[in-house]
Amino acid sequence: MRTSKILHYCVISIILAILVILQVYFLNTYSTNGQQISDLQKEIESIENQNVRLQTQIASDSAMLAISVQSDSIGLNKSPLTVSLKSPLPVAYRVGQSM
Amino acid sequence: MEKRITFVFTIFFLFFVLILARLFYWQILSSDYLGALAEKQRLITIPVIANRGQMFASNGSPLVLNQKAFGIYLEPKKIKNKDESINILAQSLGMEPASISAKLQNDKIVWLPIAHKVDENTVEDIKKHNLTGVEFLSESKRFYPEASMAAHLLGFVGKNAKGDDQGYFGIEGYYDEQLRGRNGSIRQELDANGNPILSGELERISAEDGRDLTLYIDKTIQFIVEKYLNIGIAKYGAKGGSIIVLDPQTGGILAMASYPSYEPKNFSYYPADLYKNPAISMSYEPGSTFKVVVMGAAFNEKKVDMKTKFNEEGPIALGGYAIKTWNQKYHGEISIAQILEYSSNPGMVFVQKQLGDDTLYSYLQNLGIGKLTNIDLQDEATPQLRERSKWYAIDYATASFGQGIAVTPLQMVRSVMALANGGKLMEPHVVKEIHLQNGKTISIKPKVERQIYSADSAHIVSEMMVSAVENGETKFLKPAGYHIAGKTGTAQIPIAGHYDSNKTIASFVGFAPVEDPKFVMLVTLSEPTSSPWGSETAAPLFFNITKEIFPYLGISASY
């Protein structure tokens, strides 16, 4: 009975000791890798900035004015004749009275 | 011996008291201050600025985005070479050196803001000079990929009294609360080198970005409208003008443009009176375009029908005034449809008499004349509708052909929209959807305010408007094969109690295709100089725009 109690305390002590060592290890590790965190944060910020820059660049290049200028410069013109490929609509305007 | 012991004891006691006093001072009296000082050294609070919501056209393409910018600050005590720093900053920022040096005169200033929302390239240029005492703080500013397109509609972002960003005019002003978001902060423990400690204290209040908006605006139609408005203003020598294009089924604004305009990016370079959107705030007499609204009321009340005839034999005398036709020509007996074709003022007086004074007034009220339309733009204004007791017989008569009554362009086009969509008065809207940060979307549903005309009455007047286009003065302007309903308007401008015969507001209102209207459009030109008439200025502009909109919307010719 007494032996098992001692064994019980020993196990608890070993676990506590391991936990203490682990805590010291992790605290020590995490508290000294601030530079890495800082670098990662800068990288995240840089990538976010790049995304914003790309988004604005895409928006600029696909703007109506930009497309219009480019289409003019390569000689695209408005068609003087519109050809309807749809079947003609009925002669009556809509359901209801007519004049 | 005893004396020496007492002396040493006293010295020790005094030291003890001094230490106690110092500890009392540090731990009790200055504990808050010293605690805060230690916390400041150990913890850093980084503000997380919320991004303002962005705006997109109906097809998802961007109209307003955010881009990175910087605020530039000076720490005067750290500046080594003041003159050189001032010159470099002034040159890069386009400022006068004197304005910067004047701010630096005060020695007590430790942190001096010099410029806000400076773009990245400029900041990179300044950084190359390695100036001491110059700090850059991250900010965000608006980016307009379409430059000044839809400026009046979008509004702009300026600073309020507290120095915070605030939206003014248009959508920016109306939806400011939705767009601005909520700033957050990160409070983090730092090591001796100023790097964050992962296992240390961390308190994060997340920033909530503003809500993005999707508009009813069709970027292509907006582009077409602005292009032709600028061409029209130059061609007809007009002082200004505006064009509104609405979807008659939803009341959504497909395009809205006004001239003169401004650039939202550089709004401060323009006079403040340009910020107001004339399309929703300008008060004008609609002239003959208003005839279709009154005609709709007369048909709806069954006071006239297609068999009704009117004898246009000369001017109508009323209350000491003579009401004449616009060209002094009289056609004898004409049909009700010809009243619109000839744009006959005496004919409309006849229609108004059939309708009755009270009924006309109640239609004006129901159409929302004199009331705000509740469009979701900040700067809407409306002229007042005079009280019923202040109306005389001549007022009802002139109102029937759109004189002596004031409306805004938006009120006018909304009234005609009710003819295009089967009689429903819609609430106009610019924003279609609000996108929340949690991924949900709030759709702004089309709102029918009330039924003004029966569907049949609306159809009859629509067909009369088609007839007015095809047989009236605009018959050579319309694209072949399309049924377009329309009406010209030329209203003189009232000045100091009389009408100026040389100054007019020329307009054209219409919708197409009549079989299933996809858009309703109003073109107004202020004081055109090439011709005062709507049929020679606003109407060609209207038809030039429709000629481009038809193929874009895939609307084919029907005959």
Q: Mean of the pLDDT values across residues A82-92?
A: 52
Helix axes B291-300, B455-471, angle to 10 degrees: 140
Whole-angstrom distance, CA of residue B543 vs CA of residue B462? 17
- The alpha carbon of residue A82 is apart from the nearest alpha carbon of chain B, in Å, by 7
pLDDT of residue B204: 82
Kindly report the backbone phi and psi dihedral angles of residue B363, in degrees, each rounded to the nearest multiple of 5, phi listed first.
Answer: -65, -40
Beta-carbon neighbour count of residue B541 at 10 Å?
29
- Contact between B556 and A89 under an 8 Å Cβ cutoff? The reply is yes
Query: Does A64 contact B68 at a Cβ distance shorter than 8 Å?
Result: no
For testing the chain A interface, which of B54, B146, B457 should be mutated: the one with the most A CBs within 10 Å?
B146
Q: What is the pLDDT of residues B72-121, one digit of tens each?
A: 988 888 888 888 889 999 999 988 888 888 888 777 777 888 888 898 88
Is the model's pLDDT at A95 over the cut of 50?
no
Query: Does A55 contact B65 at a Cβ distance shorter than 8 Å?
Result: yes
Whether A93 and chain B come into contact, CB under 8 Å, resolves to: yes
Query: Does B516 contact A94 at a Cβ distance shorter than 8 Å?
Result: yes
Contacts of A68 in chain B (CB under 8 A): 223
Is the model's pLDDT at B456 over the cut of 90?
yes
Predicted-complex ipTM score: 0.77
Among B145, B460, B556, select the one facing A60 at the smallest CB separation: B145
Place of tokens 């700090």: B135
Helix (H) or strand (E) holding B65: strand B62-74
Q: How confident is the model at residue A82 (pLDDT cuts 50, 70, 90)?
A: low
Query: Does A64 contact B220 at a Cβ distance shorter than 8 Å?
Result: yes
Q: What is the pLDDT of residues B246-299, one digit of tens each?
A: 999 999 999 999 999 999 999 999 999 999 999 999 999 999 999 999 999 999
Q: Mean of the pLDDT values across residues A17-36?
A: 83
pLDDT of residue A98: 35
Is the model's pLDDT at B197 over the cut of 80?
no
Minimum Cα–Cα distance from A85: chain B residue? B556
Q: In sequence order, what E strands does B192-296 have?
A: 202-205, 212-215, 240-246, 253-259
Q: How confident is the model at residue A27 (pLDDT cuts 50, 70, 90)?
A: confident
Query: Does A89 contact B550 at a Cβ distance shorter than 8 Å?
Result: no
Q: What is the pLDDT of residues B58-82, one digit of tens each?
A: 999 999 999 999 989 888 888 888 8
Whether A80 and chain B come into contact, CB under 8 Å, resolves to: no
pLDDT of residue B367: 97
- The alpha carbon of residue B373 is apart from the nearest alpha carbon of chain A, in Å, by 29
Contacts of A64 in chain B (CB under 8 A): 146, 149, 219-220, 222-223
pLDDT of residue A1: 66
Whole-angstrom distance, CA of residue B139 vs CA of residue B509? 45
Q: How confident is the model at residue A99 (pLDDT cuts 50, 70, 90)?
A: very low
Query: Does B199 contact A34 at a Cβ distance shorter than 8 Å?
Result: no
pLDDT of residue B48: 82
Query: Does B483 contact A97 at a Cβ distance shorter than 8 Å?
Result: no
Mean pLDDT score of chain B, rounded to an integer? 92
- The alpha carbon of residue B431 is apart from the nearest alpha carbon of chain A, in Å, by 20
Contacts of A96 in chain B (CB under 8 A): 455-456, 459-460
CA dihedral of residues B386, B392, B394, B399 (deg, nearest 10): 30
Query: Does A99 contact B337 at a Cβ distance shorter than 8 Å?
Result: yes
